[in-house]
Amino acid sequence: MVMAKNILSTVTATENLYSAWKEVKKKKGSPGVDGVSIALFGSRLDYNLTTLQRCLQNGDYSPLPLLKFHVAKENGGKRPICIPAVVDRVAQRAFLRIIDPMIDPRLSDCSFAYRKCRSVKAAIQRILFYREQGYPYVVHTDIDAYFEHIDHDFLLEKLSSLIDCNEAIELVKRWLKVDFYEGGRLVKNPHKGLPQGAVISPLLANVYLDEFDKAFEQTDFKLVRFGDDFLILCKDKASTKLAFDMALEMIKRLRLKLSCSKTAIVHFGDGFKFLGATLANRNIESDTKSSPVDVPQGKSHKSPILLKTLYLQEQGCILAKNDQRFVIKKKKDVLAEIPAIKVDQIIVLGNSSITTSAMKFALIKRIPIILLSKKGCYCGKIERGDSGNVELHQIQFNLLRNHDFCLRVSKEIVKAKVHNQKVLLQRHSKKIGNINQILDLMRNLLKKVETSNNVDQLRGLEGIASSHYFRGFKYLLKSSFGFENRIKRPPVDPVNSLLSFGYTLLFQNVYAFITVHGLNPYIGYFHALRNKHPSLASDLIEEFRTPIIDSLVLYLVNSQILKERDFYYVGKDRRCLLIDSAQKTFIRHFEHKMNSEVTHYHTGILCSYRKCIDLQVQEMLKVIKGEQSVYRPLTMRY
């Protein structure tokens, strides 16, 4: 074990402090409570590092309070973030550079987070290895608010067993006990918890759980831990109870709690999610969600298939439940079995039914059930009603009274829709001369949109632009199937039928992402509010109609994938509908389109159209919360 004097002298060595500064500078970051930015600290670098060195060596070093704020989590909660001052980041980085190589080799092999040469991929590979070794049953859980509940005295005791250096322990103690500023006032340290955002916190988090990790090394269970999220793999189902009880007892001993809502006993045959991946018997599917604001421009972002949809299309079939799976049956035949972990929403088309147990199971798993008629018309939705964010909804309602806000958002929505329509026509303008006049009309309408001073006028301009657009759209069709212009209710020709059905499917995807992010889908700013109408979903669908559905319909018709024989007419109004096989073909191509990759204009992310919808809902959320002033819709490029 390294002696105390050697540790502290190595930490405060001039070369080590300069190397620590370079790492802090590379990671960038915001100023701390003192307002000193990285650039400002660097402008007097020699003086600042010499002063820090002297304070550390003399024992006079005292860290500044942390700057604390909260960021939204995907599950609707908030994560506390604490920003140390730049000088304290340098001190912690210098300490970590020396201490981490001493401690890390002594930590358990089952821990994969915050460690060099370890990663999510390595954790997943270890899990798959254990699966092949005959560990098919899994206890999946995580620790409730782990970083906030770490006991300081317990942690320092554990750290002392690894480092024989009182000065180093005292330094860590000062970082742990520091107060913080939140909302403009100084808040006393609660004497527990690790500040998320501090350089030293990840290593200390692993140190705290090392006793837990090593306890499982002495058993026949297999533990894979990534931070506060972990799996315990077992050879049989009976062992999972013993493994869970052991984990529960160990976590209590560490003065922590397991998250009951996130605890499950699963089997690889059912599939389950861990670290952004879906693990099953034969495959692994990436499902990692990345923040749109932190991805560098121009980087490829292999997005997951968000909102995996189970379509119930076979007429007369029944959706039932068996253990953790959905089962589709027709008479005595089982048509399909789908692990619930692979389903994010269910769309029922026509005359199919759902058992009570399957419906309850879907509600428990927060899987909405959307009911469409055989004609593709929306009938209703079955979903839990406890996912609303009342404070956010109040902000949405209050903004309805803000004329400038409604006008500003509505302008961007209409401009994007008309722009996208114009781009689709313009791509074909050289081949079809009739379109140029329509393009001129749409350019003039865009100028009027820019100068419009009320939302009602914008709605009128949007309607006129759509009329011009669909007059041009018919010239893009190699076989018009009688299409002259957009007719919604009822669709009287195959093209209108495809457009209506496609818009319905797209609408449900937009609606789902709105609810995922806690917004009220019925409070929009461009479409007028009326009973039973999700106006925000209607607002956000506009920019996606042309790039997703209109272009898909053009492809299906012009490629003769769908032909006139794939449609039939019913009723006195001669409503045009898709036959069952053609409806399945359309859904298959719709899903392929939704999962095809494009570059999201504002972030530079290469992702699926489905992910683009998610990003645009988040964009609207920022505007509603006042985090940015202008809504930036998705626009097509020429």
Signed CA dihedral, 14, 15, 16, 17: sign only: positive
- Mapped to the 3 state alphabet, what secondary structure does 612-638 carry? HHHHHHHHHHHHHCCCCCCCCCCCCCC
**Amino acid making up residue 155:** L
- Supply 538's token pair: 């209607």
Grouping H, G, I as helix, E, B as strand and the rest as coil, residue 288 is coil
Distance CA 234, CA 239 (A): 6
- Supply 407's token pair: 């006008």
Question: Burial, 512: exposed, middle or buried (Cβ in 10 Å; 0-12, 13-18, 19+)?
Answer: buried
Distance CA 632, CA 100 (A): 44
Cis peptide before 195 (omega within 30 of 0): no
Residue 169: how many CB atoms within 10 A of its CB? 16
Question: Burial, 417: exposed, middle or buried (Cβ in 10 Å; 0-12, 13-18, 19+)?
Answer: buried
Residues 6 or more apart in contact with residue 473 via CB below 8 angstroms:
424, 425, 483, 550
Grouping H, G, I as helix, E, B as strand and the rest as coil, residue 531 is coil
Q: Are 232 and 225 in contact (CB under 8 A)?
A: no
Q: Are 115 and 107 in contact (CB under 8 A)?
A: yes
**Which of 306, 318, 372 is closest to 343 using CA atoms?**
306
Signed CA dihedral, 224, 230, 235, 239: sign only: positive
Q: Are 425 and 473 in contact (CB under 8 A)?
A: yes
Distance CA 415, CA 154 (A): 59
- Mapped to the 3 state alphabet, what secondary structure does 178-242 carry? CCEEECCEEECCCCECCCECECCHHHHHHHHCHHHHHHHHCCCCEEEEECCEEEEEECCHHHHHH
Distance CA 600, CA 608 (A): 9
CA distances from 61 to 92, 175, 592 (A): 12, 10, 59
Distance CA 300, CA 291 (A): 13
Any known ligand binding at 462? yes
**What angle is formed at CA 597 by the lines to CA 593 and CA 600, rounded to 5 degrees?**
115
Signed CA dihedral, 107, 109, 112, 117: sign only: positive
| Number of residues that make up the chain | 638
Q: Are 209 and 103 in contact (CB under 8 A)?
A: no
Sequence ranges of the binding site: 462, 527, 542
Sequence ranges of the binding site for Mn(2+): 462, 527, 542
